[in-house]
Amino acid sequence: MNANYQPLFNPMTLGGNVQLRNRIVMAPMTNFSSNEDGTVTDAEVDYYVRRSGGVAMVITACTYVTRNGKGFPGEFGADRDEMIPSLARLASAIKDRGAKAVLQIFHGGGECPPDLVPDGDVVSASAVLSEQHDRAVPRPLADAEIESIIRDFGEATRRAIEAGYDGVEIHGANGYLIQQFFSPHSNRRDDRWGGDLERRLAFPLAVVDEVKRVAAEHANRPFLIGYRFSPEEQETPGITMDDTLRLVDALAEQQLDYLHVSLMEFWSKPRRGADDSKTRIQWIRERIAGRVPLIGVGSIHTAQEALEALQSGVELIALGREIIVEPDWVEKVWNGQEADIRTTLSAEDQHRLVVPDPLWQAIMHTPGWFPVVAAQSR
């Protein structure tokens, strides 16, 4: 190994007693490849196994905690106890390759396609149409329904524990239900769940409290709890960097094991709510002030890019699209073969990369999402 890249392989401990073998994480990415009933498929398991041999931790694709939270076709479920064997199969497959397995738990809220939820009943904090997908105006959740969904996050956590996962990641990012409650764009409520920023924090923090409570009650081994968030929204009104820094403050006091910022570009700068003299990551790190580890992500491809990102002060680096393009990324850097890391793919590469058909079709038919080239260099 090139000694310059040794920092990428320094082990670390999360949560006081979960040992990670290096600083590289597989980011959570939807793969559209589960069975209709919410169980994982053979192809999906193979896809994760192919990518679990080098990274320290695998964060799974988002997993719905209740049936009306299913946000994607081919998404796997954690909404009932019958899903535990399916969940356990995936956890075991990841852990057998030496990586820690973390289940990302999720409710799509107003971003759920009507045809994926019972009776097409799409719900959210308020009746605000998504500006990202012109699907349906969601129905505002009643107070009792909100309490029920909070409990559903707890029940999904219990199932993750019983299935053998090393932790859960609460998906509070990318415009889904938890973010919908925090956002002044999608949350127009005037009750205890909405209004000023403090009340818009109520639902995210209630989910955190419930997940922590269930983990304390049911986990008889070290069990991680992380939280993923998006730092800004493009809508007006919408989440600004200032809002996010206040969210980070609140989360950093919750004794979580890590925070995970969702970014398309690691070095991106704020739009509003903070000046652009610093990157979003720098503002967030400054506000965290060492209280909780931070995972950074966003268009990191090469070993040098990962090293520079790590040197920004984040504790862990997540690879998303790059770990699909190059499943052996970690191993190649470890073996001094970083020059051989692939950063593009071609239409002929599906079998070699062990990518399920639904995800492969999405990659091939979504221009600009992946670096697809006509022919892969050898």
The type of residue at 113 is P
Reported as a single tens digit per residue, the pLDDT across 179-204 is 999 999 999 999 999 999 999 999 99
DSSP assignments along 125-151, one per residue = SSS---SS--S-PPEEPPHHHHHHHHH
Write down the pLDDT at residue 104: 98
Q: What is the pLDDT of residues 274-322, one digit of tens each?
A: 999 999 999 999 999 999 999 999 999 999 999 999 999 999 999 999 9
Of the chain, the percentage scoring pLDDT greater than 90 comes to: 96
Average pLDDT over residues 209-218: 98
**Residues recognised as catalytic:** 176
Model's pTM, two decimal places?
A: 0.97
Query: pLDDT tens digits, residue range 109-154?
Result: 999 999 999 999 999 999 999 877 777 899 999 999 999 999 999 9
What pLDDT is stored for residue 131 in this prediction?
77
What is the pLDDT at residue 133?
A: 72
Percent of the chain with pLDDT over 70: 99
pLDDT at 378: 47
Annotate 20-43 with b (16+ C-beta within 10 A) or e (fewer). Answer: bbbbbbbbbbbbbbbeeebbbbeb
Every domain of the chain and the residues it spans: 3-341
Per CATH, the number for 3-341 is 3.20.20.70
pLDDT of the residue at 181: 98
